[in-house]
Copies of this chain bind each other. A is one copy, B any other.
Amino acid sequence: MARAAGVSQAAVSLVLGGKWHGRVSPGKAEAVRAAARELDYRPNPAARSLRLGRTRTALLVVPALTNEFFARLHSGAARVAAEHGFGVVLYPSPEGTGPARDPFGSASDALDGVIASSMASGALAALRPGGGLPLVMLDSDPEHTRASATVNLDIADGMRQTTAHLLGLGHRGLAHIAAAVDSWTFGVRARTLAGALRAAGCPAPAVLPAELSVAGGMRAAMAALAARPRPTALVCDDDLLAAGACKAARRLGLRVPEDVSVTGFDDLTLARAVEPELTTVRLPAEEAGAAGMRALLAVLDSRTGGAVLDSRTGGAVLDSRTGGGGPEGAGGPGRTVTLPVELTVRGSTGPPPEAPVRPGER
């Protein structure tokens, strides 16, 4: 551009790249900037990528973007990426929670790194980015060693809060409407619920596997509520399942929460649309996406000696983190960050029938 527009040739690169001090005279630099402004010049990213060997592009692998949780996750990741001149490409996964098959076989862009969230257990092996691409795992088993960093939500604590809330209300007979998805995040929910009940001296929960949808939750809850003695609370792995559980109760002539309490997970828009509104664990999805992207950028930065972040932001990645990520921030290579979650109590839970809260028990 500047060849025609003003002054020299590749001084443009130096000036626009911000590394001209002591290499280009101030007058020339200003001329370059003026010309760039004038022509609305933008460096060709393909040429840039070819030269640099980096693409400023991250792949985000999620089970399904039509799930609001993952849409929020994407939103947070894309925001942070954009702040640093990065793009996000989504693995075009088919509908459903199936794992990605071969994200790297598609004609996608070349990638600088990968962020994968909530993958099914078996899908980890399939994640084989060639050439040692940095991989950040979200909502996944921190023991997975392939990951440069892991950003998790405190799923276990969310389930503990849920259980404590129900036990505090006086419930003893719980059923678990469990997502029929073989992933770490749902495994934690099941184990934590079972463990908390055991610790409280309650009977083990009935476990009803459910397809991850409103209809699936309804079917599983119908079965759960047919058992005798009937459970007084249904702990659902997800708000969709919880909405379905509420429908099942109503269909059976039971009132929520008077006859049966229902809890969810996620705090989707849906949680406040249904009646009664759902008691659910709010998961900071957008923050998780943002933290995941920050962690990836940090890994990239450390591998290139600061080239990733400095070129645009002066390396402020770790300063702009969303609070709550623990004292160490969004996580450097190999680290695991766990974001706190919080139970939001709404109308779908109450004391069990014929068993009012005993004073002193919370």
Q: Is A92 an interface residue (CB 8 A)?
A: yes
Query: What B residues does A130 contact at CB under 8 A?
Result: 40
Nearest neighbor of A56 in chain B, beta-carbon distance: B107
Other-chain residue from B86, B89, B95, B275 in contact with A247 (beta carbon distance below 8 A): B275
Q: What distance in Å separates the Cβ of A78 from its nearest Cβ neighbour in chain B?
A: 4
Q: Is A243 an interface residue (CB 8 A)?
A: yes
Which residues 237-295 of A sit at the B interface, judged by CB distance below 8 A? 240, 243-244, 246-247, 250, 269-270, 272-275
Q: Is A179 an interface residue (CB 8 A)?
A: no
Max chain B CB contacts within 10 Å: which of A56, A85, A270? A270
B81 near A75 with CB under 8 A, answer no
Q: What distance in Å separates the Cβ of A309 from its nearest Cβ neighbour in chain B?
A: 13
A87 near B75 with CB under 8 A, answer no
Nearest neighbor of A53 in chain B, beta-carbon distance: B46
Q: What distance in Å separates the Cβ of A92 from its nearest Cβ neighbour in chain B?
A: 4
Q: What distance in Å separates the Cβ of A38 from its nearest Cβ neighbour in chain B?
A: 14
Lowest 7 A-B CB distances belong to which pairs? A46-B49, A85-B107, A243-B273, A46-B50, A78-B92, A82-B92, A66-B71
Of the A-B pairs whose beta carbons lie under 8 Å apart in the complex, a sample of 26, sorted by A's number, is A45-B108, A45-B109, A45-B110, A46-B50, A50-B50, A57-B109, A66-B68, A68-B68, A79-B92, A79-B94, A81-B92, A82-B92, A85-B106, A85-B107, A87-B108, A87-B109, A88-B89, A89-B89, A214-B273, A240-B269, A247-B273, A250-B275, A273-B273, A273-B274, A274-B275, A275-B275
